[in-house]
C-alpha cells in the first residue's frame, strides 16, 4: 500500500510536466467500483481464508470475551466515535446531523480482519492475544456491517425514525441467519469432503461453498461475512480436518487458501493506495481526519475496557491486552467500502476523506509498529 501511495504521488508530480499519464490512471481508477469489488467479490474469500487458519480450540476458550468485543464493544465504539465526530465537526463549523456521525462511527469501529490477519502473522503476538484480536476482527466485521445497515435504514427513513421491531428483525435476520447458514454450509461441505478422497475436488468444494453460500446469504438478506466466517471455522477445526481430509488434501486446501489470501490482499492494499488518485482533497476534511485518529483510538480503548475487566479473573489475559488490542485493531478496505456506500446527503465526501486518513494511519503507522509495541508491552 505504501508503494502504491508513493507511485500515486509520483504520478501527481509528473503531471506538472505532462498530465496525460495521471489522467489515464484517474480514469482507470474511476471505473473500478471499489465497494462492489471488496464487499461482493473479495471479502468472502479473504474472511474464509482467515477463519480456516484460526485456532478453533483457542477461539472456543476465548469465545465469551470475543463475543463481547464483537458486539457490545463495537456498539459502544460506534456511539463514542459518533459523539466525538459530532463535536470535532462542530468545531470546524460543519453542520452534520448526529445520525450521520453515528453512521461514520459504525463504519470505522469494526476492525478489518483482512488488515489484522495480514499484519499479525509477522508481528509475533502471543497466541492467546492473537486469538482474541483475530477472533474479534472476524466477527465484529459482520456485526459492524449489521449495525451500519441499521443506522443507514434509520438515516434513510422519513424523519429518521424506524420501529424497534424492525431493528430487532434486521439483527436476527442478518446475524442469526448468517451464523445458521454458515453452520449448514460448513456441515454439508464436511460431509461431502468426508465421502471422497480427491484433493483437487475437495479444494473446489471449499471454493464452491464460499461462492455459493455468500451469494445465497445476500439473496436471503443474511450476513454474508458471518456466514463465511462460521463455515470457515467449521471446516478448519481439527475434528473436521482429522476425519474429512487426508494429509494431502489438508496440505493442498491450506496452501490454496493461503495463496488466494496473499494474492487478494496484495490487490486490495494496492487499490487502497491508488484510491488517493480520485480523492479531491479538502483541507478542512483532512484536518478533521487527523484529529479523529486519536479520538477513534480512545473510543476503541474505552469500548474494550469493560469486557477485559469482566473476564480478567476468569481467563488469563496477556499483560497490557487493552493497549495492544487498541493499537492492533486496524481499519482497512471494509471501512472505505462502507464510506463509499453513503449518499451525498449523508456527507459522503466528508466521511470518505476522514475514513481514508484513518485507514492510511491505521495500516502504515499502527500496522508497521504493532510488532515493536507487542515486544515492549508483553
Boundaries of every domain in the chain = 61-170+265-377
What gap in Å lies between CA 293 and CA 183, rounded to an integer? 37
pLDDT tens for each residue of 257-309: 989 988 888 888 888 888 888 887 788 999 999 999 999 999 999 998 888 88
Q: Which grid cell sits at 200?
A: 483437487
Q: Which grid cell sits at 241?
A: 480436518
User: Measuring CA to CA, which residue among 21, 42, 24, 20 is closest to residue 33?
Assistant: 42
What gap in Å lies between CA 132 and CA 136, rounded to an integer? 6
* Main-chain phi, psi angles of 291, to 5 degrees: -65, -35
What gap in Å lies between CA 35 and CA 200, rounded to an integer? 32
Average pLDDT taken over every residue of the chain: 87
User: Measuring CA to CA, which residue among 365, 278, 350, 302 is closest to residue 81?
Assistant: 302
Write the DSSP assignment of 112-130 as a string of letters.
-HHHHHHHHHHHT--HHHH
Contacts of 351 by beta carbon, 8 Å cutoff, 6+ apart = 100, 103, 104, 107, 339, 342
What gap in Å lies between CA 234 and CA 207, rounded to an integer? 15
pLDDT tens for each residue of 343-363: 889 999 999 999 999 999 998
Which CATH code for domain 61-170+265-377? 1.20.1530.20
pTM across the whole model: 0.85
> From the CB of residue 151, how many other CB atoms can be counted at a distance below 10 Å?
22
Confidence of residue 371 (pLDDT cuts 50, 70, 90): confident
Contacts of 90 by beta carbon, 8 Å cutoff, 6+ apart = none
Q: What is the pLDDT of residue 299?
A: 95
pLDDT tens for each residue of 66-77: 888 888 899 999
Contacts of 201 by beta carbon, 8 Å cutoff, 6+ apart = none
User: Measuring CA to CA, which residue among 255, 253, 262, 273 is closest to residue 206?
Assistant: 253
The answer to whether residue 86 scores a pLDDT higher than 80 is yes
Q: Which grid cell sits at 199?
A: 484433493
The answer to whether residue 88 scores a pLDDT higher than 60 is yes
Amino acid at each position: 500500500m505504501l508503494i502504491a501511495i508513493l507511485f500515486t504521488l509520483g504520478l501527481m508530480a509528473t503531471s506538472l510536466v505532462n498530465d496525460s499519464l495521471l489522467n489515464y490512471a484517474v480514469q482507470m481508477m474511476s471505473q473500478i467500483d471499489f465497494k462492489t469489488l471488496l464487499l461482493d467479490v473479495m471479502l468472502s474469500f479473504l474472511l474464509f481464508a482467515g477463519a480456516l487458519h484460526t485456532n478453533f480450540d483457542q477461539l472456543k476458550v476465548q469465545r465469551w470475551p470475543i463475543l463481547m468485543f464483537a458486539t457490545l464493544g463495537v456498539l459502544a465504539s460506534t456511539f463514542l466515535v459518533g459523539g466525538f465526530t459530532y463535536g470535532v465537526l462542530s468545531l470546524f463549523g460543519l453542520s452534520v446531523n448526529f445520525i450521520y456521525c453515528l453512521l461514520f462511527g459504525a463504519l470505522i469501529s469494526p476492525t478489518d480482519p483482512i488488515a489484522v490477519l495480514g499484519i499479525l502473522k509477522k508481528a509475533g503476538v502471543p497466541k492467546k492475544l492473537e486469538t482474541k484480536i483475530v477472533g474479534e476482527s472476524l466477527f465484529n466485521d459482520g456485526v459492524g456491517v449489521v449495525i451500519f445497515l441499521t443506522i443507514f435504514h434509520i438515516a434513510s427513513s422519513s424523519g429518521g425514525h424506524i420501529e424497534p421491531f424492525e431493528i430487532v428483525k434486521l439483527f436476527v435476520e442478518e446475524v442469526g441467519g448468517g451464523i445458521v447458514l454458515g453452520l449448514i454450509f460448513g456441515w454439508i461441505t464436511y460431509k461431502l469432503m468426508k465421502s471422497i478422497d480427491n484433493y483437487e475436488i475437495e479444494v473446489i468444494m471449499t471454493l464452491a461453498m464460499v461462492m455459493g453460500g455468500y451469494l445465497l446469504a445476500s439473496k436471503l438478506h443474511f450476513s454474508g461475512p458471518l456466514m463465511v466466517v462460521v463455515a470457515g471455522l467449521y471446516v478448519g477445526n481439527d475434528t473436521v480436518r482429522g476425519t474429512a481430509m487426508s494429509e494431502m488434501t489438508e496440505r493442498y486446501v491450506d496452501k490454496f487458501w493461503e495463496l488466494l489470501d496473499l494474492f487478494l490482499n496484495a490487490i486490495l492494499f494496492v487499490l487502497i493506495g491508488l484510491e488517493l488518485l480520485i480523492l479531491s482533497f479538502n483541507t478542512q476534511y483532512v484536518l478533521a481526519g487527523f484529529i479523529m485518529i486519536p479520538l477513534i483510538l480512545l473510543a476503541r480503548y474505552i469500548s474494550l475496557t469493560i469486557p477485559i475487566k469482566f473476564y480478567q479473573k476468569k481467563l488469563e489475559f496477556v499483560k497490557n491486552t487493552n493497549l495492544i488490542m487498541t493499537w492492533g485493531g486496524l481499519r482497512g478496505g471494509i471501512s472505505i467500502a462502507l464510506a463509499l456506500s453513503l449518499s451525498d446527503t449523508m456527507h459522503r465526501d466528508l466521511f470518505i476523506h476522514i475514513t481514508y486518513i484513518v485507514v492510511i494511519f491505521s495500516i502504515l503507522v499502527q500496522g508497521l509498529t504493532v510488532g515493536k509495541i507487542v515486544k515492549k508491552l508483553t
